[in-house]
Amino acid sequence: MAICVSRSIFACKNLLQAESILLIGYPISGAEKGTTITEGIISGYQDDFYLADLKADHGHSGGPVIGIKENCFAGILIGERGVPIPNTKSWTFILKADRFIGINY
């Protein structure tokens, strides 16, 4: 999978459920040196956050999340919150980019 990196990137307008995203980071459990890229999807929304089905570990927090379809900046990974139901996966929270930067359309 190729990622196009341009001189300017814009904030995603609004990612849809099931839209593919990439998380860039330096997780403890990832590569010994360098950056790792993890793919996931947008699962839902909660206030200023996207909820994502995305594997994230320590070291991913604060990492950029990119919307694949439009090659846009979705936001930054905030972390995971567990669900108080046995055998239930935790959600990964992404602070939406338009909540902390100006939007250039």
Per-residue pLDDT tens digits for 60-85: 778 899 999 989 999 999 876 655 44
Backbone angles phi, psi at 97, to 5 degrees: -60, -35
Residue pair 104/72 in contact by the 8 Å Cβ criterion? no
Instruction: Using pLDDT thresholds of 50, 70 and 90, give the confidence band for residue 35.
Output: confident
Retrieve residue 79's tokens.
């972390």
CATH superfamily assigned to domain 20-99: Trypsin-like serine proteases (2.40.10.10)
pTM above 0.85, yes or no: no
- The residue length of the chain stands at 105
* Residue-range domain boundaries for the chain: 20-99
Token couple for 16:
């849809």
- Residue 98's φ and ψ, nearest 5 degrees, are -70, -5
- Give, in order, the Cα–Cα distances in Å from 15 to each of 18, 44, 67, 84: 9, 9, 7, 27
